[in-house]
């Protein structure tokens, strides 16, 4: 007990140190977006520079520019085989007005979300790479049917808030979209429908934690897509969660190379729904459905390979048995035709909806036993009461010195600093979270 007391004495000091904050600041106001707010005052100037047409705007706190078109210089430069950026479209981050004022480019608004008129007759399909500066907050431009486009790179620190519908639909040669050439998208809050539909060469994508809706047919037909990562918040009260509230109709249908996917826990108190045909005709052999998933729609997993039972129970009554799909919620609604002709082994808790569904459809049921609070938990919630308290911090502290035991299921909620060890620092971070720091 003396050792515990000694470590506890360090907690007040540690709280004043620079530690991982468990507070997520997601504040964003509409009037921070240049070119779309009602109180923006036009500077009265439209100019052409570097092949682009700019509309300039003046605010009380900054000068911004919207790219509203391409001019003849742009087209002439692009068709010149000696032009060094002939196959790369680089959007500028800044433009200088006639009076010498420098305007930051915050918006690209060309042709509307349903028109690629800027391409017509101009052979824009010569582009293989697009570079978008971090200053851009909104893009109202589709790259649809640019079949030679291979890479879209956003600068580190990108302020882009969303990808519009059909943004990259039918870009059949698109291989990578992300920050500095990675697969990690900017910190988006929305991705429109058809955004990556029929991007048949796209192999990997990381979906930001702030995205709430995976819209209809977002990744439909992406037959090379092997890896989909749902990012989660690293700290704050939402640590280990994402803002997901719905995976919509046919969102991943036809992703015939997608064998595994880990669905996130949601910050939404009502959880999220997996709608009809969402994972239809994918290569999934096993999937875990978090407790926060409230419903699974018609043919959501039809045409999959879940009947190959690619996952193994690590704990519970049937430890070591294989299954195709596990439901970690007792009341998740499962459509009668959720699996089509596929006959997976279903894992779930005794007397749950999954148990009943398996019985009614003559499917093998693998029991996970009684409800386990350490499956898809709240990170830092050691006692499983869905809240982070000082009791959790003290418990972790005891575990760090060997006074209390823990099992493998609990490690993912104890090791909050993700350093691979259970230490007093984990207890400090949890204690900070319990008091709102």
**Partners of 368 in the beta sheet?**
none
Is 145 domain-assigned? no
User: What is the pLDDT at residue 77?
Assistant: 55
User: Dihedrals φ, ψ of 428, to 5°?
Assistant: -65, -45
Q: What pLDDT score was predicted for residue 145?
A: 84
Above 50 in pLDDT, residue 383?
yes
Mean local confidence (pLDDT), 48-57: 85
Q: What is the pLDDT of residue 385?
A: 65
DSSP 356: H
Q: Percent of the chain beyond pLDDT 90? A: 49
Complete DSSP assignment for 162-179: EE-TTTTTT-TT--EEEE
Find the range with the poorest average confidence among 101-110, 230-239, 307-316, 402-411: 402-411
CATH of the domain at 7: 1.10.1330
Residue 19 has pLDDT above 80, yes or no: no
Average pLDDT over residues 273-278: 97
Quick one: three-class SS letters along 47-69? EEECCEEEEEEECCCCEEEEEEE
Number of domains in the chain: 1
When mean pLDDT is compared across 131-145, 287-301, 305-319, 366-380, the lowest value belongs to: 366-380
What residues contact 78, with CB distance under 8 A and at least 6 apart?
51, 86, 122, 123, 124, 126
- Burial annotation 95-109 (CB, 10 A radius, 16+ → b, else e): bebeeeeebbbbbbb
Q: How confident is the model at residue 21 (pLDDT cuts 50, 70, 90)?
A: very low
| Contact indicator for 52, 89 with CB cutoff of 8 Å | no
Residue 20 has pLDDT above 90, yes or no: no
Predicted confidence band at 357 (pLDDT cuts at 50, 70, 90)?
very high
Task: Record the tokens describing residue 374, joined without a space.
Answer: 């350490």
Residue 375 vs residue 144, higher pLDDT: 144
Residue 56 has φ and ψ, to the nearest 5°, of -105, 140
Distance CA 181, CA 202 (A): 13
Mean pLDDT across the stretch 224-233? Answer: 95
In a domain, 386, yes or no: yes
- Residue 416 lies inside a defined structural domain of this protein: yes
257 occurs within a structural domain: no
CA distance linking residue 103 with residue 225, whole number of Å:
39
Q: Is residue 66 part of a domain?
A: no
The whole-number average pLDDT for the span 23-27 is 31
| Nearest residue to 48 (alpha-carbon basis) of 86, 13, 77 | 77
pLDDT of residue 384: 67
CB 412 within 8 A of CB 377: yes
Kindly report the backbone phi and psi dihedral angles of residue 412, in degrees, each rounded to the nearest multiple of 5, phi listed first: -65, -15
How high is the pLDDT of residue 23? Answer: 30
Report, as an integer, the average pLDDT of 198-210: 96
Question: pLDDT of 402-423, one tens digit each?
Answer: 888 887 767 878 888 888 889 9
* Least confident among 91-100, 262-271, 404-413: 404-413
pLDDT at position 26 is 31
Question: Do the beta carbons of residue 278 and residue 300 sit within 8 Å?
Answer: yes
Q: What is the residue range of 388's domain?
A: 2-24+379-434
d(CA 141, CA 164): 8
Per residue in 113-148, pLDDT (tens digit) is 444 444 544 555 677 888 999 999 998 878 888 888
Is 101 contained in some domain? no
DSSP 3-15: HHHHHHHTHHHHH
Type and span of the H or E element at 79:
helix 72-79
Q: Is the pLDDT of residue 110 over 70?
A: yes
Mean pLDDT of 179-186: 92
Whether the predicted pLDDT of 269 surpasses 90:
no
> Helix 424-434 and helix 390-400: axis angle, to 10°?
180
CB-based contact 404:398 (threshold 8 Å)? yes
Q: Is 410 helix (H, G, I), strand (E, B) or coil?
A: helix
Residue 352 lies in a domain: no
| pLDDT value of residue 46 | 86
What pLDDT, on the 0 to 100 scale, is given for residue 87? 76
pLDDT band at 53 (very low <50, low <70, confident <90, very high): confident
What is the reported pLDDT for 251? 97
pTM: 0.74
Mean of the per-residue pLDDT values of the chain: 82
Question: Is residue 424, in this structure, part of any structural domain at all?
Answer: yes
| pLDDT score of 223 | 97
**Lowest-pLDDT range, 4-13, 95-104, 322-331, 406-415?**
4-13
pLDDT of residue 3 exceeding 60, the answer is no
- 4-13 pLDDT, tens per residue? 333 334 434 3
Pairwise CA distance, residues 437 & 431, whole Å = 9
């Amino acid at each position: 007990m003396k050792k515990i007391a000694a470590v506890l004495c360090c907690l007040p000091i540690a709280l004043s140190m620079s530690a991982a904050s468990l507070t997520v600041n997601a504040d964003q106001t509409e009037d921070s977006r240049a070119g779309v707010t009602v109180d923006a005052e036009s500077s009265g100037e439209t100019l052409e520079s570097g092949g682009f047409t700019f509309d300039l705007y003046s605010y009380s706190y900054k000068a911004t520019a919207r790219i509203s078109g391409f001019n003849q210089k742009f087209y002439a430069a692009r068709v010149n085989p000696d032009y060094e950026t002939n196959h790369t479209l680089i959007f500028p981050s800044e433009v200088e007005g006639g009076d010498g004022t420098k305007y930051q480019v915050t918006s690209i608004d060309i042709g509307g979300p349903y028109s690629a008129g800027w391409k017509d007759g101009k052979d824009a399909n010569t582009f293989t790479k697009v570079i978008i500066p971090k200053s851009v907050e909104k893009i109202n431009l589709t790259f649809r049917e640019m079949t030679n486009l291979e890479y879209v790179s956003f600068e580190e620190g990108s302020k882009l808030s969303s990808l519009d519908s059909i943004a990259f639909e039918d870009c059949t040669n698109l291989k990578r979209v992300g920050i500095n050439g990675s697969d990690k998208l900017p910190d988006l809050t929305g991705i429109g429908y058809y955004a990556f539909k029929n991007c048949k060469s796209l192999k990997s994508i990381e979906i930001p934690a702030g995205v709430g809706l995976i819209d209809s047919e977002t990744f439909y037909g992406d037959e090379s897509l092997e890896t989909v990562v749902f990012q989660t918040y690293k700290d704050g009260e939402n640590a280990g969660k994402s803002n997901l509230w719905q995976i919509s109709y046919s969102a991943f249908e036809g992703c015939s190379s997608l064998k595994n996917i880990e669905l996130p826990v949601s910050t939404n108190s009502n959880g999220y729904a997996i709608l009809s045909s969402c994972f239809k005709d994918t290569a999934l052999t096993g999937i875990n459905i978090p407790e926060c998933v409230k419903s699974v729609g018609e043919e959501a997993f039809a045409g999959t390979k879940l009947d190959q039972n690619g996952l193994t129970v690590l704990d519970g009554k049937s430890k070591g048995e294989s299954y195709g799909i596990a439901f970690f919620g007792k009341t998740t609604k499962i459509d009668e035709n959720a699996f089509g002709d596929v006959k997976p082994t279903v894992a779930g808790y005794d007397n749950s909806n999954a148990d009943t569904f398996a019985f009614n459809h003559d499917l093998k049921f693998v029991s996970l036993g009684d409800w386990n609070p350490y499956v898809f938990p709240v990170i830092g919630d050691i006692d499983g009461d869905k809240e982070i308290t000082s009791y959790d911090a003290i418990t972790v502290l005891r575990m760090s010195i060997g006074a209390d035991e823990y099992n493998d299921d609990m490690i993912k909620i104890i090791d909050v600093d993700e350093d691979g060890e259970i230490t007093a620092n984990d207890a400090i971070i949890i204690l900070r979270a319990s008091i709102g720091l």
